[in-house]
């Protein structure tokens, strides 16, 4: 009798543990997604805090109902971005922006940072088709493991470790945040080309390898 009771209790515990694990596996991705989105939203609202402070400081000049709209700074930022996109469709404003960027890029300390950030943003965007030339597998961080990398161009001869060998610049993003990563100089013969586009590679990296390209 006692043995049967132990068997029933063991089976019950196993069944309950299975139910708990199944429930956890179902709800955990949703919770993690909400957590990441919440952190991202908090980061964005912190960047837009000056807009909210400006609205609060200008309270006598604006309607009271405008201040009660939740996260009004986000809404205003989105509208300003749409307005900027509309304005940039006008040729004369494109010329003004190009002149401003040219002037901005002449500042010694700002030029390399701005140029790098602009190229990085363009590379992650869908409009740019030249930022990342190819998706490859590279040996990283050591000889016996591989990771996904993005070829960004050919390394100048003066930076090549061995004369006469073609080396490529490869960006290896971190996971799950691909905006940080490593810049590697790798011989072209050591790169393994992959048949996937940029969006598929980014999805693979950001999902920790759980979402594979179809």
pLDDT given at position 58: 62
For the chain, give the percent of residues with pLDDT over 70: 78
Whether residue 201 is contained in a domain is answered as yes
Residue 13 lies in a domain: no
Instruction: Indicate the number of domains in the chain.
Output: 1
- Does 175 reside within a domain? yes
Residues with Cβ < 8 Å from 97, sequence gap 6 or more?
Answer: 88
Which two three-digit tokens encode residue 133?
């030339």
Would you tell me how many other CB atoms lie within 10 Å of the CB of residue 60? 5
Could you tell me the pLDDT band of residue 128, with boundaries at 50, 70 and 90?
Answer: very low
In a domain, 59, yes or no: no
What pLDDT, in 10s, does the model give residues 27-85?
A: 877 887 788 778 878 888 787 777 777 766 666 666 666 666 777 777 778 888 777 77
pLDDT value at position 62?
63
Query: By the 8 A CB rule, do 164 and 182 touch?
Result: no
* Residue 112 placed within a domain: no
CATH number (domain holding residue 164): 2.30.30
Where b means 16+ CB within 10 Å and e means fewer, 165-204 reads eebbbbbbbeeeebeebeeeebeeeebeebebebebbbeb
Mean pLDDT taken over the chain: 77
Biggest alpha carbon–alpha carbon distance for the chain: 90
Lowest model confidence (mean pLDDT) among 18-22, 90-94, 169-173: 90-94
Can you give the residue range of the structural domain that contains 200? Answer: 134-206
31 belongs to a structural domain:
no
Per residue in 162-188, pLDDT (tens digit) is: 888 899 999 998 887 777 788 999 999
Task: Decide if 32 is inside a domain.
Answer: no
Mean pLDDT, residues 96-117 = 72
Among residues 75, 161, 171, which one has the least CA distance to residue 123? Answer: 171
In a domain, 127, yes or no: no
- pLDDT, position 170: 92
What distance in Å separates the CA atoms of residue 36 and residue 71, rounded to the nearest whole number? 18
The helix (run of H) or strand (run of E) holding residue 192 is strand 192-193
- The Cα 50–Cα 46 span in angstroms is 8
Using pLDDT thresholds of 50, 70 and 90, give the confidence band for residue 191.
very high
Q: What is the pLDDT of residue 192?
A: 92
Between the alpha carbon of residue 205 and those of residues 27, 128, 138, 200, 210, the distances in Å are: 21, 20, 14, 9, 9
């Amino acid at each position: 009798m006692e043995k049967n009771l132990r068997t029933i209790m063991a089976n019950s515990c196993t069944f309950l543990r299975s139910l708990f694990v199944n429930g956890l596996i179902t709800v955990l991705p949703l919770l993690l997604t909400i957590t990441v989105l919440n952190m991202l939203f908090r980061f964005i609202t912190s960047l837009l805090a000056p807009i909210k402070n400006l609205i609060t400081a200008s309270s006598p000049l604006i309607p009271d109902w405008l201040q009660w709209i939740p996260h009004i700074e986000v809404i205003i930022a989105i509208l300003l971005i749409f307005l900027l996109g509309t304005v940039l469709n006008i040729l004369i404003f494109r010329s003004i922006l190009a002149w401003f960027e040219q002037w901005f890029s002449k500042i010694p300390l700002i030029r390399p940072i701005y140029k790098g950030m602009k190229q990085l943003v363009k590379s992650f965007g869908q409009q740019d088709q030249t930022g990342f030339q190819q998706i490859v597998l590279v040996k990283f961080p050591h000889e016996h493991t591989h990771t996904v990398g993005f070829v960004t161009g050919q390394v100048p001869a003066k930076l090549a470790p061995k004369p006469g060998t073609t080396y490529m610049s490869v960006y290896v993003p971190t996971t799950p945040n691909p905006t940080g990563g490593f810049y590697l100089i790798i011989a072209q013969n050591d790169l393994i080309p992959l048949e996937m586009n940029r969006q598929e590679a980014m999805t693979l990296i950001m999902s920790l390898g759980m979402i594979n390209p179809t």
